[in-house]
Structure 1
């Protein structure tokens, strides 16, 4: 079984082979884009009828046009069905996520005196509406609902709804509905995949049109967001899960391997690497992984094996720490975990990662559920340009300026010079002596 795990030596790879390690599932969306385009068109033209048809075809969900929106009775039934231990965990996680995002909130308005008599600042207001996408294809994820909806509520978005596929029984996952109630969201719609993105982009008889959609999803969801980016704000790029576990020579290889399992079990389209500068750490990880697989259920074991023995996972040995860091920054992982006796020593060198979890007591599992920082993170290298989901995704800023009469003269002089140079006569006229004359006449 050890032979199934891919083991690579970074310095022995060609430039092309190294570049291929950076690819993810959604690096080539050609197939998904074509399929998603057909689904989008059907939803745009048929509305609820298309959602029902695709729900049955793709999710095997028994839904009808009149049952797409979750009812109060379904919320109540779900609340009664969630075990007490899970209720406690959801409430604990919700509180952690809320506290973090409350601290992240900017002042609603700020102004500062930039120069004598010149005041500038910003005011923040929530966006009008958002849909939080909660996937279900490979499991049920109340954690995604909390991560997407809590910051929206903290930001004060007036209309927050949730999209998630129903199961074969036509019901939404009980814990997901309970989490929605805890967060304060009462609109949940039974639809998933590309059809869900299309539904909130255009609106159907039941599902409302909204301004933005957030949350991770399958390549079909990613493809639909790309195709509809001129109709609805697609939010932070969030596709299939990915991680890098970085373990230096001081790390415990078996413990690092345990954390490598975390994101590899999400699905066969995930990506997961352990990179280390130590042959000893790599070998310890190789020896440990098969035993961890034996402790997983059949489905998650299959996913993890597929990832760690395939083209988007495995163990990488680099010649030194610098090579490890360079690879991490080139890859820009969604999740990065650092195993080291001195994890903070490496922190300053990492420039591209969705999140960085430091030390053996901070596994990715904690970040995905209860730590507090948002676990909806940019994927497929988007961490080079994008940030984790947060309150700023649900806010819009407006610039503010105010100039006193004493400060105006200096600003007008420089503005006039620039406007004349650029050929904007109206701009220049508005700060010419004519303005002074008009103001004097007014006085």
Structure 2
């Protein structure tokens, strides 16, 4: 569930492909794994070297990859988003965009007519049905949780990661929407959808499993397409705890059937389980209340009753440790209304309790250092402002629990489509990157 990109550049990541994927020339069963080691560095994007077979990554509100599309290849930068299906590129040059895909320059680009089965059948999982425009081309419209939207035509072209090519990849060539407000945002060409829908990148490539480890600061991380986090080659990784993906057969108005939906069963602050009935976490008859694992959202959002219970308990356990910002008019990003004042003279935060998200069969433990986020430019007297990194879904206007990537740092996250489950285990992303780069 991608949001518009913010101006905050936390990390710049460079990764390279160590093994080749056979992409469209292989069956799903024999798909070769692609190992993508990541190195985070606090360096300006203008100084990144661009040698062959390397792909640029940076991490702000999402994971952003640089790859090539078309013939001759054009460099594009796309957000990797497990909460979205259709990959898309900006195709219309506008003053606020520095990076667009020029379809007229690509000899392998082709549009998809609205009468094509690709348009009439393969778009079935999109939230807004495809339509037919005045030129009888397949027209798609995308909308996101932050009220941003875009529209354009469905098309085919060749996507390349490193030296591996996938001809005939379906994507959206978008002509409007998603206006950028910062220079960093304007460099992003589009988005790579990674959910379970028929048109997602992993579905089109035939990968039955992918994993990632998101690094925290200046350390190694990794994205692995194919393969798995088990066996002798992963002896350095703790056994994964798996939670099943929730699937429903009947379409419901507020349930995203293509999302990576898991069952949240409880929330703990330190070791104290919040006194919430499990029914609070179960989707209702409309589908509202599902829990989605989403790399395209930065923070984690809870429905109102669960958020209020967590907010109150966190305040209680940090009483005398943190000073609450008493300003009802300040709500960070419009969804986070619990903020604190921390002295400018303080170089580190105090020790804070952990928050654990309890799933069916697995638990995600968020350490205290990732529970507060410094708000750039907000100073009150001699204090800086930090906000709680859990937000209220009700304020965002979304009827769902969303597990964002900020709370997935230094966890091995495996999305196992073949067995319909998500696995997780704590891991040092530095260790994961080093071991995989050596093939061990």
TM-score range, shorter chain: under 0.3
TM-score of the aligned structures, taking structure 1 as reference length: 0.27
More strand by share: 2
TM-score of the aligned structures, taking structure 2 as reference length: 0.27
Higher relative contact order (CA 8 A, sep 6+): 1
More helix by share: 1
Larger Rg over CA atoms:
1
